[in-house]
Amino acid sequence: MTAALDAYWMPFTANRHFKQAPRLLAKAEGMHYWTADGRRILDGVAGLWCVNAGHSRPEITAAVAKQIEVMDYAPPFQIGHPAAFELAEKVAAIAPPGLNRVFFTNSGSESVDTALKIALAYHRLRGDGARTRIIGRERGYHGVGFGGISVGGMVANRKMWSASMLPGVDHLPHTHDLARNAFSRGVPSHGAELANELERLVALHDASTIAAVIVEPIAGSTGVLLPPKGYLQKLRELCTKHGILLIFDEVITGFGRTGSAFGAQEFGVTPDIITCAKGLTNGSVPMGAVIVKKEIYDAFMTGPEGAIELFHGYTYSCHPTACAAGIATLDIYEKEGIFQRVKDIAPYWENAVHSLKGLPGVIDIRNYGLVAALEYELIAGAPGKRGFDTFLKAFDAGILVRAAGDITALSPPLIIEKNQIDQLIDTLGKVLKSQ
């Protein structure tokens, strides 16, 4: 028997609609969920872009169980525990060269807020305290903290709180351009010049007032928006030219999704700060991290040795169970060559998703690594309806996909096999044909 549904206020959910016909998951293993009534569902979105090594991995379960038995909790301020240092070293070892100092949080949203605070404090500590502006991007998603929604670019996440945004934030234009790039395979050819919009913002505000630019290498939450060829490189060049820190929000692109450890390596562009979460613990225990260049860390290590250098942290920063999960997760990625696996299977994935071209309402298909999206023609007067209906019908048909407005996003666990790709895409195809 399921408990009453009234008390729980569900996040990012149509609560009343859901509670009329609840969709309840009860068990997960490998590539699958099972519903409370025993139906098996193929997971096409790695939970929520996070279960990269597949569900309920025994190695992670054992590590977490052992840790919680030995030591349930350890305070993170002015005292430490070995697993935190071990995990930080492991994260640094797979991060791009030069990014080797790691601050732990409990989510992507906290990682973003932390990164923004570090960027602002960094400039101030170096005597460049007029750099207070942060530049985000339209259609960006950086979590739901006040910092994250300020630099983010999703109107529904912003409009209720518009008077409470961080001051001085501005936005680059998004790079989504179906007129020129529809049905691209991999990164689209057109749009690198949009990075030059940063020059316009510099001309407007002056570089001396800008602390950082934050972008997702691939925007996930708004429907898989890929960086045009050369765009991230150009952004990097302009940030360097103007002394602006470049932050890559890799909450989704981190830990193998693109075929490299981070999008930074995949796209050959090294930011100054990376935010991550999700795949860090394979989604098993909440955890996020901010990875910074050593120079940034060093800028803080200047006052008296007995003084706290950064007045920031969370009760659950580097929680022992999260650290244990993170260590076990990174071990799996390494042992099983998970990131390389993505590169190997990506061409098959690309062909499979693009086989849906021509189905009713489909106006774009795009892909990279083990991510893809299908975009649908808007139904007049009902934005988001086609995306949500597709999600509901797909769930009934035994696959979990993600609706982002009128876009279906796909991001399966990175252990997906070819026959499971076939099943996912065939089922989605049938759903689209039936609409």
Binding residues vs ligand PLP (CB under 6 A): 314-316
Residue 60 interacts, among ligand PXG, ligand PLP, none and using kind-specific CB cut-offs from 5 to 8 Å, with none
Coil, helix or strand for 135? Answer: strand
Q: Which of 276, 325, 278 has the alpha carbon at shortest distance from 57?
A: 325
Q: Which is nearer to ligand PLP, 73 or 161 (CB)?
A: 73
Q: How far is the CB of 311 from ligand PLP (least distance, A)?
A: 13
- Minimal distance in Å, beta carbon 314 to ligand PLP? 4
Nearest residue (CB) to ligand PXG, 277 versus 421: 277
Closest CB to ligand PLP: residue number: 315
Cβ proximity of 193 and 175 under 8 Å: no
Q: What angle do CA 20, 404, 352 make, to 5 degrees?
A: 110
Which of ligand PLP, ligand PXG, none interacts with 141 (beta carbon under 5 to 8 A by kind)? ligand PXG
Tell me how far CA of residue 364 lies from CA of 141, 177, 214, in angstroms: 21, 10, 26
Q: How far is the CB of 45 from ligand PXG (least distance, A)?
A: 8
| CA pair distance 203, 299, nearest whole angstrom | 28
Please count the other Cβ atoms lying within 10 Å of the Cβ belonging to residue 73.
12
Helix (H) or strand (E) holding 343: helix 338-354
Instruction: Return the closest-CA partner of residue 211 out of 244, 166, 171.
Output: 244
Partner whose footprint covers residue 314, from ligand PXG, ligand PLP, none (CB < 5 to 8 Å by kind): ligand PLP
d(CA 72, CA 151): 36
Supply the minimum distance, in Å, between the C-beta of residue 378 and ligand PXG: 19
The secondary structure of residue 226, as a DSSP letter, is P
**Residue 395 Cβ vs ligand PXG, minimum distance, rounded to whole Å:** 15
Is residue 332 within 8 A of residue 60, CB to CB? The reply is: yes
316 interface partner picked from ligand PXG, ligand PLP, none, CB below 5 to 8 A per type: ligand PLP
Distance, CA of 79 to CA of 169 (rounded, Å): 36
Q: Which partner, ligand PLP, ligand PXG, none, binds residue 348 by CB below 5 to 8 Å per kind?
A: none
Rounded CA separation 349/425 (Å): 9
Question: What does 142 interact with, of ligand PXG, ligand PLP, none (CB < 5 to 8 A by kind)?
Answer: ligand PXG
To ligand PLP, the closest distance from the beta carbon of 382 in angstroms equals 39
Concatenated DSSP letters of 173-209:
PP---HHHHTT-SSS-SS-GGGGGHHHHHHHHH-GGG
Place of tokens 């997971």: 43
Is 31 or 144 the residue whose CB approaches ligand PLP more closely? 144
d(CA 357, CA 37): 34
Query: What is the C-alpha separation between 252 and 409, in angstroms, rounded?
Result: 12
Separation of alpha carbons 120 and 151, rounded Å:
14
H or E element in which residue 288 lies: strand 288-293
The item of ligand PLP, ligand PXG, none sharing an interface with residue 277, based on CB under 5 to 8 Å by kind, is: ligand PXG
Question: Quick one: 202 or 272, whose CB is closer to ligand PXG?
Answer: 272
Q: Which does 345 bind (CB under 5 to 8 A by kind): ligand PXG, ligand PLP, none?
A: none
Between 202 and 405, CB nearer to ligand PXG? 405
Distance in Å, CB of 157 to ligand PLP, minimum: 21
Q: 């909790």: which residue's tokens? A: 73
Residues sharing a CB contact under 8 Å with residue 209, sequence separation 6 or more, in sequence order? 130, 131, 132, 133, 168
Binding site for ligand PXG (CB under 6 A): 48-49, 107-109, 112, 141-143, 216, 220-221, 249, 251-252, 277, 402, 404
Chain residue at closest Cβ approach to ligand PXG: 108
Closest to ligand PLP by CB, 74 or 92: 74
317/390 with CB nearer ligand PLP:
317
CB of 127 to ligand PXG, least distance (A): 30
Please, which residue, 54 or 286, has the CB nearer to ligand PXG?
286
CB of 275 to ligand PLP, least distance (A): 17
Q: How far is the CB of 404 from ligand PLP (least distance, A)?
A: 28
Q: Which is nearer to ligand PLP, 8 or 77 (CB)?
A: 77
- Residue 411 contacts which entry, ligand PLP, ligand PXG, none (Cβ below 5-8 A, type-dependent): none
Q: Out of ligand PXG, ligand PLP, none, which partner does residue 18 contact, by CB within 5 to 8 A per kind?
A: none
Instruction: Kindly tell me which of 52 and 109 has the beta carbon lying closer to ligand PXG.
Output: 109
